[in-house]
Structure 1
């Protein structure tokens, strides 16, 4: 899909990119090697940018595209980073991280803060919901040596662009994703309350906190795929949609991860 993207090239904005697509330049490979495409001034920059992009893609340098694209356009990189992406959600009480949920190539897991840095090695992208404002600032303060991946797809921005209002809990049912009844009405404030109950010795609070957090994480992957596909349609980008993860196939992973974290 990244080969249909021209926005990372200097001088190419949303309108010029769409102009390229509609004129038949639907990918880097379809850019004519000579002749006027946009204008004499921009064409040389465009061809040089495409040549550099092809070189960086062949080298597996996804960070090059992440640096060149606006952060709100990182969704375009999803097909390139799926195998190394981490779907991440944290719960925190003030500046204290109470639990970290992650879905990556090692599976679904609930982490204590001390396990985060080891788990984070090798991630090539992050997918969060409101992570730019919440999760990442806290993680950077708690783990100052941690360098987040260059690619960060914040689904809050993706769905705002799709004119979807509300937070993750409001978005899920509109996408056809539902939580068990005992989790359906919980919020971030409930997660803080559960942590305080856990600290006070309530043996069931830890399990409820972990389960609440893992459902957040569990839904990020299909929501990312749905959001990507909807943005393809909205932008009229000439690229193939992603297959949406079967939510039912992952439910067992949630139960197993809860047991592993609470045993």
Structure 2
């Protein structure tokens, strides 16, 4: 493990991850048990398929009645296209075809190529952007050109409330930037699980705790810390970056937990994902903060 060479406005921590294709193999049954991306197949039809014994693409019979003559033709054509797209790893196809509220189903396929993202902002100004991706943990501020360059490698985005906060602000700050087609918004995931509230409240409910000097901070405090560091308080910058990176590194285990809980709730015929060891990532946060605030 080592801290990448620093340049103005960005600090990166590189650390090991599991092999990218291991997660994809483990999660293959998840997407192949999905039919919601096929035209005419809604949640009730999909469940009807599962209950009738058609629990994956491979179990769609080549002939005979399934749902109805009109839908059966769409279903078989959609499954054939899906098999081809998955073999090509065209995850963008599934991101566009699935309702965004169902993008969580793609998590096993994309998790090692995803960016777990959280920003702090004052109005439309991005004050700090934190990212955890295949290259490690990074904190960006000021010039976001390096953030933009790094984002081109992402195949998915995982956020908490990013649909209405992080992504719109980044679009305004970076004209021409577009997020990946696959976007798992954990606020939607946990609302579906009837676990409402903000990220900090959710962390407490699942047993994730922050150090005392960060535990009481909220978004308004992040804005105040930004103004304090602009006035020359280096401790304020360090605290702001650390606060943001805690948001970021909690997103991965929260995504995995939410995914597993949704599998149980929906009774989708697929296996759970392993949950990342939060304790193993705490040292990464400390190193990343030190790199961002020398």
How far has the Cα of 1:19 moved from its partner?
Answer: 0.8
Choose which of 130, 140, 143 in structure 1 pairs with 2:161. 130
TM-score, with normalisation over the residues of structure 2?
A: 0.88
Structure 2: distance between partners of 1:119 and 1:55: 29
1:46 and 2:75 matched: yes
Q: Distance between the aligned counterparts of 1:175 and 1:135, measured in 2? A: 23
Secondary structure of the 2:234 match is: coil
Name the residue aligned to 2:206: 175
The answer on 1:185 being equivalent to 2:216 is yes
1:108 partner SS: strand
Shift of 1:142: 0.8
Map of 2:38 onto structure 1: 9
User: How far is the alpha carbon of 1:118 from its aligned partner?
Assistant: 1.6
Question: RMSD between aligned alpha carbons?
Answer: 0.8
- The 5 Å alignment of 1:76-115 reads 76-112=105-141, 113-115=144-146
Q: Corresponding residue for 2:226? A: 195
**Residues 26-37 of structure 1 mapped to structure 2, 5 A cutoff:** 26-37=55-66
> Is residue 210 from structure 1 mapped to residue 241 from structure 2 by the alignment?
yes
Query: What secondary structure does 2:213 align onto?
Result: coil
| Residues in 2 aligned to 1:89 and 1:239: alpha-carbon distance in whole angstroms | 29
Question: Counterparts of 1:261 and 1:118 in 2: how far apart (Å)?
Answer: 18
Q: Unpaired runs of 5+ in structure 1?
A: none
Structure 1 residue 147, shift from structure 2 partner: 2.1
The total of aligned residue pairs comes to 263
The structural deviation recorded for 1:148 is 1.1
| Cα distance between partner residues in 1 of 2:70 and 2:149 | 48
Structure 1 counterpart of 2:93: 64
* 3-state SS in 2 of match to 1:100: strand
Q: Distance in 1 between matches of 2:107 and 2:235?
A: 37
CA distance in 2 between partners of 1:114 and 1:210 (Å): 18
Bigger relative CO (Cα 8 Å, ≥ 6 apart)? 2
The one of 154, 178, 193 aligned to 1:147: 178
Distance across 2 between alignment mates of 1:258 and 1:247: 17
Distance in 1 separating the partners of 2:127 and 2:214: 18
TM-score normalized by structure 1?
0.98
